[in-house]
Amino acid sequence: RLPGYTEWEKLEIAKGFLMPKQLLATGLTKRKLKMDDAALLKIIREYTREAGVRNLEREISKICRKVARKLASNRKSVVSVTTRNLRRFLGAPKFRSQKSDRRPIVGVATGLAWTEAGGEILKIETLLMEGKGDVTLTGQLGDVMKESAKAALSYIRAHQKEFGLPSGFHKKKDIHIHVPEGQVPKDGPSAGAAMAVSALSALTGRPVRGDIAMTGEITLRGNILPVGGIKEKILAAHRFGITKIILPWENKSDLSKLPKIVAKNCKFITAKSIKDVMGAALATK
């Protein structure tokens, strides 16, 4: 399995290959059509979602054809495409650009996921209700992800005294863990750490810091195991403005694969156990 291109790689491919190709095909030149990097990044983020660049080329081709027609009919000498007028050429964005909420919120942790189209952030929410100890997992989660949630809850129950939780709390409260955007299937073990933080935050009332994202598989002993797709996940966090990232200690070697600008602007916290993650992610009451 080959990983998809990152946003920065797509940008360089667009500038070095796709744009010149489509300019030549439509009889345009760089002097007649000017498109800045910000506009290309907006196309990549909000008009395409793919591992490769095929749809990106289609969108660039659409812009070039419209510009060629505009130049022929209006006899203008130059057309500039920017983020402000991009909608005139491509219409409304096809994909919603997520925003990261920086506020500390009780029961809401930011996880990181890998998809074929690149990295994504996941908001994991936990809600408590009066009940008999039932656990509900929603958000179209796969079996592995459900098992990660159960492992996280079992670890919290086994260490309830350390976390200041009352004895038998699990018999009086129903716990509901939800991962939004339920129309998108989700699976994999890498959200285990974020699920544990979200659940403990809801149980203790301590908010989760909104400027931190995390990834890592949790075991019943509380160890944090390495996961895949670290590069794509960190790039996703950086794209959404998150600069503090918790990752498994054994994934330290993956940091060497990051673009220099991302590595320079991000702070990485490596964790061997879930207690390391909780200490960094949970704020005071």
78 neighbors 48 (Cβ within 8 angstroms) = no
Buried b (16+ CB within 10 A) or exposed e, 108-136: bbbbbbbbeebbbbbbbbbebeeeeeebe
Q: Is 114 helix (H, G, I), strand (E, B) or coil?
A: strand
Cα(85)–Cα(93) distance, rounded to whole angstroms? 12
Backbone angles phi, psi at 67, to 5 degrees: -65, -40
Cα(177)–Cα(120) distance, rounded to whole angstroms? 19
Q: Which of 42, 123, 186, 233 is catalytic?
A: 233
Catalytic: 10? no
Residue with tokens 């030149």: 29
Q: Given its phi and psi angles, is residue 7 left (phi above 0), alpha (psi -120 to 50 degrees) or beta? A: alpha
Catalytic: 190? yes
173 neighbors 253 (Cβ within 8 angstroms) = no
From the centroid of its chain, how far is CA 129? 29
Q: Which of 190, 198, 201, 231 is catalytic?
A: 190
Cα(184)–Cα(200) distance, rounded to whole angstroms? 25
Which residues form the catalytic set?
Answer: 190, 233
